[in-house]
C-alpha cells in the first residue's frame, strides 16, 4: 500500500519534470585581445547574454539594428536580457573590427 503511494508520487514528479518549460539560459560571450568569442552565438528570446570584457580597455556591444548598445569597462561583465528574436549583428564602437552575430530564436 505504502509503496503504491510512493510510486504514484514518483510518477507525478517525473511527469512534472517533463512538462516544466525550458528555463531561460545565460550565455557568456568573452571579449579578449580585441576579439569577441564566440563570434557567432545562438540564443532564445528571454535568455541573458553576459558579455565579459577581459581586456584592459573598454569595449561596446553595439547592435547594428539598435536593439542594444552595451558599454563594458575594462574587466567588467554586463548582462542583457534578449527580448526579440532575429539575427543581430553587433560590433564594438571603439574597435569596429570586433564583430559578432547573435542568432536569437523565438
Ligand atoms: Cu572594443
Residues of the chain with pLDDT below 70 are 1-22
- Identify the helix (H) or strand (E) that includes residue 105: strand 99-105
Q: Which pLDDT score is estimated for 104?
A: 97
Residue 23 Cα to ligand 1 midpoint, Å, equals: 31
Q: Which pLDDT score is estimated for 23?
A: 83
Residue 53 Cα to ligand 1 midpoint, Å, equals: 9
Residue 28 Cα to ligand 1 midpoint, Å, equals: 17
Distance of CA 102 to the CA centre of its chain: 9
Q: Which pLDDT score is estimated for 97?
A: 97
Contacts of 49 (CB under 8 A, 6+ apart): 26, 27, 29, 41, 43, 61, 79, 80, 81, 82, 102
- Cell reading at 48: 541573458
Residue 1 Cα to ligand 1 midpoint, Å, equals: 66
Residue 24 Cα to ligand 1 midpoint, Å, equals: 28
Q: Which pLDDT score is estimated for 20?
A: 57
Amino acid at each position: 500500500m505504502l509503496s503504491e503511494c510512493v510510486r504514484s508520487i514518483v510518477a507525478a514528479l517525473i511527469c512534472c519534470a517533463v512538462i516544466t518549460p525550458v528555463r531561460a539560459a545565460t550565455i557568456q560571450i568573452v571579449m579578449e585581445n580585441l576579439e569577441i568569442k564566440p563570434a557567432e552565438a545562438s540564443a532564445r528570446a528571454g535568455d541573458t547574454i553576459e558579455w565579459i570584457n577581459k581586456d584592459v580597455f573598454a569595449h561596446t556591444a553595439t547592435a547594428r539594428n539598435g536593439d542594444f548598445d552595451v558599454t563594458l569597462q575594462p574587466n567588467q561583465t554586463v548582462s542583457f536580457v534578449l527580448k526579440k528574436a532575429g539575427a543581430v549583428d553587433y560590433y564594438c564602437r571603439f574597435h569596429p573590427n570586433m564583430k559578432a552575430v547573435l542568432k536569437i530564436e523565438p
